[in-house]
Amino acid sequence: MALSKIDIPPRAQHFLECGIEECERNCEFYCNPCHQKLCKQCSEEHLKSPENKNHEVVFYQQRKRQLPVEKCKIHPTKDVDMLCEECQVPVCSKCVTKGDHPKHTFVDLEEVYAEKFAICQKEISKIHDYFLPTSQDLQKEIKKDSSEIKYLMDNIRTSMKTEGESLKSLVDTVISENMKQLDQIEHSLLEDLNTQDKTMEDYITYLNNLVKELHRCLSSTETQKLMSEKKPKIRSIPETTKPVTPGFTAGQYSESDVTKLLGKIHVPNTKAEKREIRPIESVYNTAMKPTHKQMKEDRKKSDKKQTMSLSASVTKVREFNVPGVDNVYHVSLDQSDRLWISDNEGNLVQTDLQGNVIQKIETSSKYDGYHTVTQDRDLIFTDRVKKVISRITQDNNISEFIKTGDWEPRSIHSSHINGDLLVGMWKRTNYTSELQIILGAKVTRYNKTGKELQNIQRDNKGQELYGEPRYITENINGDICTSDFYKVVVVNKSGQHRFSYTGQESGIRPYGICTDVLGHILVCDIFTVHLLDQDGQFLSLLLSYQQGVRRPRNVCVDDENNLYVGQDETNTLTVYKYLE
């Protein structure tokens, strides 16, 4: 169970300490009547006391919330501690005894307060897990639509201007050609008229000269000369032509003609489509109603969980060798007596709990947590070369049922909550042994049939969450825990970033990762195994060199709370007990 956010210390490596004076151990329990934080030892001592034997001591996360101190409005010296069910008014003990609420029923206000508190927390959780992220996604979609609208409108404006400029260019071309033609006609006409003008000028000169000659005859004193002159023959007036002038017919066009040329804006006569709001069931999955047998088993597990706690020490139970693999980089639990184990060379074998090989598969994936077993006991594994996810059913039918496109699937986990598949993948350029460029990384959620449901890639500030999602698992509250490059990344079921764990002073180089029935997160470092609580607080180095662990690469916890640890450079699988 997760601690309430108000109870999380400001630094993740701090413990929530026991409330008993001079006790510095980690708080695990809570006494509801005393409202006292207790460690395991102090809780046992607390219940040994005769006056406390009937006290209710529970896990700290399941504590009842302490009723705030509030004075009665009618009896100011008394604290309210009861609730009148008929009036729904908090009252004090004096209100009850004085008969201010005759024949009314009273209940413990602290019980009601705790119930209301839990309801409010549940609603807050719903807001944070569903309503807020869904609304933020819709808001992002709206902003994206707004940007796309601006982009679309700018494109239309550019097209309109381009069409207008094109038409203007055509108009200028036509006008220029018309002007050129008009200039040629004008030049030709003027040249012809100038020729005619010269002809007439010559003719007029001829006439004037003829008149002068005739006047000389008339003025002559010699009669004989005039009588002997022949009648003058006047040349005909030269013919001239009137110019044929061009005309201009104005274009007959209307606004609609121009619209046809330039184009028109069309507004679709379509009703705006409502944005799709994902159902709350996508976060709080209720698609599969549990059977009576499942409910009974869940109750048994829940009852067992109530009594579970961290042991004072880690105990080695047994170990066995796994033929067919060079080392143990990842283990998937098949059923109570079956395991799937892989190494860093693509070997994947199924064994029993004694290490006897049942079957073996050669794969193209290496190192990472690339296989998982579903609720139906199908083996799911990724192929990094083909970029597909394959399934092997119980009758050994193999099928490729998810193709990941440009994304290379590295890690996979089948949810024990709803059967969804969580896949860590990355995209990179073509690379050589000396160079590779990672273009992006993400976690994608698919349902059982391979339909993509969710992509998790960035936090709410737009920053990339993942670099190399090599191992992936799911916690009891639905958190997605990913072993990434130099950090552990945890997001909630809606994909909202909760925290990243970067180790202690020396940092961390995370490998295999798993969670347990108490919500602990266990992650392999280069030489140790770190134990975190559900909110990312460092609890301890669960395994180290002192426990015989050299290079841990994988951890997983079975239904009996056995911890399986696989290591590099050896094909030995070791089983430990760390819960009691």
462-486 pLDDT, tens per residue? 889 998 999 999 999 999 999 998 9
Q: Are 71 and 90 in contact (CB under 8 A)?
A: no
Is pLDDT at 100 greater than 60 in this prediction? yes
Confidence grade of residue 6 (pLDDT, cut at 50, 70, 90) = very low
pTM higher than 0.85, yes or no?
Answer: no
Contact at 8 Å (CB) between 395 and 388? no
Q: Under a CB-based contact definition with an 8 Å cutoff, are residues 28 and 60 in contact? A: yes
At residue 301 the predicted structure's pLDDT band, cuts being 50, 70 and 90, is: low
The whole-angstrom separation of Cα 428 and Cα 570 is: 31
What tens digit of pLDDT does each residue of 372-390 get?
999 888 999 999 889 999 9
413/404 Cα distance (integer angstroms): 16
Helix (H) or strand (E) holding 358: strand 357-362
Residue 243 has pLDDT above 70, yes or no: yes
As given in the structure block, the two tokens for residue 179 are 């002007």
Give dist(CA 313, CA 308) in Å, integer: 14
The three-state secondary structure class of 281 is helix
In tens, the pLDDT along 164-210 reads 888 888 889 888 998 999 999 999 999 999 999 999 999 999 999 98
- Find all residues with CB under 8 Å of 501, minimum gap 6, and list them: 12, 487, 488, 490, 508, 521, 523, 530, 532, 536, 538
Strand ranges in 97-153 using DSSP code E only, listed in sequence order: 106-108
- For 485-495, write each residue's pLDDT tens digit: 899 999 998 88
Helix (H, G, I), strand (E, B) or coil at 167: helix
Residue 576 confidence (pLDDT) above 90: yes
Averaged pLDDT for residues 119-148: 85
Residue 267: how many other CB atoms lie within 10 Å? 5
Q: Of the ranges 100-109, 185-194, 322-331, which one carries the lowest mean pLDDT score? A: 100-109
Per DSSP, the three-state class of 126 is helix
Q: Out of 10-19, 119-128, 193-202, 250-259, which region has the weakest mean confidence (pLDDT)?
A: 10-19
**Is residue 396's pLDDT more than 80?**
yes
Whether the per-residue pLDDT at 10 is higher than 50: the answer is: no
- The three-class DSSP label of residue 156 is helix
Encode 237-257: b = buried (16+ Cβ within 10 Å), e = exposed: eeeeeeeeeeeeeeeeeeeee
CA 209 to chain centre: 108
Q: Using DSSP, how many helices (H) and how many strands (E) does the chain show?
A: 7, 30
Please give the residue that has the higher pLDDT: either 293 or 400: 400
Q: In this predicted model, which residue has the larger pLDDT, 305 or 100?
A: 100
Spatial contact of 415 and 283, defined as CB atoms under 8 Å apart: no
Phi, psi of 22 (to 5 degrees): 70, 0
% of the chain with per-residue pLDDT over 70? 89
Our measurement of the distance from residue 310's CA atom to the centroid of its chain's CA atoms, rounded to an integer in Å, reads 36
- Would you say residue 234 has pLDDT above 70? yes
Per-position DSSP letters for 225-279, written without gaps between them: HHHHPPPP-PPPPPP---------------HHHHHHHH--------PPPPPP---
What pLDDT is stored for residue 435 in this prediction? 54
